Structures are given as C-alpha cells and as structure tokens.
Amino acid sequence: MPFEIKYTIDMNELGWAWLVITSGVARVDSNVSYLHDSLGDLARVALEYVHGFCVCEIPFIGEPGAIICKFFRDGDSVRLVVHRDPDALESGARSPQARLVLEASEHHLTFARNVCAILHDVWTTTGLATYRAVWHSNDFPLATYLRLRILLDRSPLAAQIRERAEKRECTRDLELALLNCELAL
C-alpha cells in the first residue's frame, strides 16, 4: 500500500516540527526536535533513491523517543518500515522497546516527489535564515532540494538548467528562478 509523509516546521517554537506518515488508514505522527537533521536526511534519501540507493534509516527524534524510518529500494519501489521507539537515544539507535507501527511501499519517484514537495513547502514558508533561526542546529538542505527539483521538476526551467549544466555554463540565474517557481512535478 502507498504511503505519504508530511513534515511541518512549528514556527512558534524553536527547533520543533511535526511528522505524519500515512498509509491507507494507518497513521503515525510525532513531534520532531532539532537534535537530528531529519529533514536533511529525508532529502538526501530521496535523492539517493532517484539514483538507485538501496537501504537507509532515519531517526526522527522527538522528546521522548523517536520514530525510526527504514527505507529499502526494491526495483522501482521504496519500502518503508516504521518503528516507534519510546526510549531511542539522540543517536537514533533503537532500544529493545521499539515496536513496528507501519509498513508500506511506494514507487521511488512518487516518494522523491513527496519529499521534494515537503522541501518546497518548508522553503517557501520559512526561507533559509528563518529555518536556521527556528531549527538552530541544522541548515535547510538547499543544495539537495535544488538537485531534486532539477531532476524531478517538469518545468522548462529545469530542462534549461540541465542543458546549461551539460554545456558547463553558469546556471545560477535559472536556479534562482526555479526556486521561486511553484512545483511542476
């Protein structure tokens, strides 16, 4: 069954976000703290899956505990296995109390587009400086977000960026324009 991930930065609190993962009627939600660069890890996983990476685990550290997401590449699909761990350490290491709460799979490009949409939403609602002020331990994963946009976006700008990059020409103006456009996934 397909899954969807939602990730929202709490602009009223320093270093807090909200994670929601749904698959059919199953739902996992948790607060997420700045103790780990979960959004950056999620962005990097999506980019790696576009390129064929196989396995990755991301701890979404809350207080208390964590949601531990393990992603597996299986052909064109990404399989997600989610554990809720009430005693997870800041490192994200699982404790014996971790329990399985959700398993689902999704096409790898749908997963990458979902993550790209999350990044777009966070980027357009916070910007770089505000993200850093709220999420004070980690910067917004701008380079990874831009790479995902260039790979996945169907807009003419993304195609122009790819063409210029192949010719080794400067793409800065097009990249800035792309970041200021709505998603065309």
> Tell me: the pLDDT tens digits for 13-72?
788 999 999 999 999 999 999 888 999 999 999 999 888 777 899 999 888 789 999 999
**Rounded to two decimals, what is the model's pTM?**
0.91
Element (H, E) at 102: strand 99-107
**Cβ(127)–Cβ(11) under 8 Å?**
no
Predicted pLDDT of residue 94: 67
Q: Which residue has the tokens 């807090």?
A: 16
Phi, psi of 83 (to 5 degrees): -115, 145
Please state, rounded to an integer, the average pLDDT across all residues of the chain. 90
Q: CB 100: neighbour CB atoms within 10 A?
A: 10
CATH class for the region spanning 4-140: alpha beta
Q: Show Cβ contacts of residue 173 under 8 Å, excluding neighbours closer than 6 positions.
A: none
Domain coordinates in residue numbering, the chain: 4-140, 153-185
pLDDT grade for 88, boundaries at 50, 70 and 90: confident
Q: Which of 99, 101, 104, 98 is nearest to 72 (CA)?
A: 104
